[in-house]
Amino acid sequence: MHVLVLGAGQLARMMSLAGAPLNIQISAYDVNSETVVHPLTQMTTGNDLASAIRQADVITAEFEHIPLDILAVCEKSGKFLPSTEAIKAGGDRRIEKKRLDDAGVKNARYFVIQTYEDFHKAIEHVGVPMVLKSALGGYDGKGQWRLKELDQADTIWAEMAECIAATDHQAIVAEEFVPFVREVSLVGARSANGTVAVYPLAENVHTNGVLSLSTAITDQALQEQAKQMFTAVAESLGYVGVLALEFFDVSGSLLVNEIAPRVHNSGHWTQQGSETCQFENHLRAICAMPLGSTRLIRETTMINILGEDRLPEAVMAMAGVHVHWYGKVKRSGRKMGHINVCGDSSGSVQNKLSDLAQWLDQAAYPALHEFVRKSSTQA
């Protein structure tokens, strides 16, 4: 079986690693350089998308922001999964919001802005404070604003107007500010026959809009809510593959914040924490294989490595600590890899995180240090 992945980053890399035991060969199409590369070595293996499509049994994607002309060619082949509509929903917040509404899934009140007049209508409809996000592009905290007081409106509008003018078909989506208790996400898979398998919820901590730390949690009431909402969205999209929903936990009631139509950063813990990782289950789903078990087999926390390209030897020597590098050139704030920390119990994981914090710099790993500080205060 040969799978062509649109995108040549770390998610394609991890799909390749997960696919090898199943005899699934992965090629990656770099949409920026317009070349086909090996997802692990990054060596160029071709520069003809049409040939790569012909050679592939299945085509999938590792990110949402795929040029529409490339998406159209892949869709025409009849090999693309999950679907172009799902990818568009993940890449355009206007489509995403409509899809959530169509699926009957709760999400924050919103209003789409293209003009200054729309901005003031949004203020009336959504209220202040509000969160504003670019409809196209923007991720890891980029392309976002917060309107906390009305006297900020003109300053923020100037920045948003510049954003709208810079990209064709751009707009801003205004959302009500949700006073959530925490952010959680659910990663799951759906097969073409409608079979759904979801992983345990993960509680997520962000730093400057970038995911820093994810921990698999057990909360049966929230899990059931999340699974129902996941199933509704996946069925509405006719989805095949792994899908992630990001939620706000509002005192035990979930609101969907975002859809991610792909394997997801908050699901990296499944590589060590679950019987079948998210990367393998994505490949199983799109290659028409039975889904693997999503059962939690050990308590796990994932820590993102941002802007760092090495770790102390003491970290590498710790039992239950698994490091995953992405083979990237170091750049400030860049996702360079992640660390999965495993234990027999939540207490065991907390102890290991405390040990890790002694070796990892607070400026580079603020979420880890804050987690350890809170844990020690609550103990």
Domain range list for the chain: 2-80, 109-176, 182-378
Identify the CATH assignment for 109-176 out of 2.40.50.140, 3.30.1490.20, 3.30.360.10, 3.40.50.300: 3.30.1490.20
Same fold for the domain at 109-176 and the one at 182-378? no
In this structure, how many other beta carbons lie within 10 angstroms of the beta carbon of residue 231? 18
Q: How many angstroms separate the CA atoms of 199 and 53, rounded?
A: 31
Alpha-carbon distance 98 to 81, whole Å?
A: 21
Measured distance CA(22)–CA(280) in Å, rounded: 9
Per-residue pLDDT of the chain (379 residues; tens, 9 = 90+): 999 999 999 999 999 999 999 999 999 999 999 999 999 999 999 889 999 999 999 999 999 989 999 999 999 999 999 999 999 999 999 999 999 999 999 999 999 999 999 999 999 999 999 999 999 987 656 789 999 999 999 999 999 999 999 999 999 999 999 999 999 999 999 999 999 999 999 999 999 889 999 999 999 999 999 999 999 999 999 999 999 999 999 999 999 999 999 999 999 999 999 999 999 999 999 999 999 999 999 999 999 999 999 999 999 999 999 999 999 999 999 999 999 999 999 899 999 999 999 999 999 999 999 989 887 776 5
| pLDDT the model gives residue 141 | 60
Confidence at residue 47, expressed as pLDDT on a 0 to 100 scale? 85
Q: 182-378 is classed in which CATH architecture?
A: 2-Layer Sandwich (3.30)
- Residue 169 burial (CB count, 10 A): 11
State the pLDDT at residue 140.
58
CATH 3.40.50.880 corresponds to the domain 2-80: no
Contacts of 59 (CB under 8 A, 6+ apart): 3, 4, 5, 6, 53, 74, 77, 79, 80, 81
What value, to the nearest 5°, has the Cα angle with vertex 105 and ends 71 and 64? 20
Judge contact between 276 and 294, C-beta under 8 A.
yes
Instruction: State the virtual CA torsion across 372, 311, 333, 371 in degrees, nearest 10.
Output: -10
Question: From the centroid of its chain, how far is CA 308?
Answer: 21
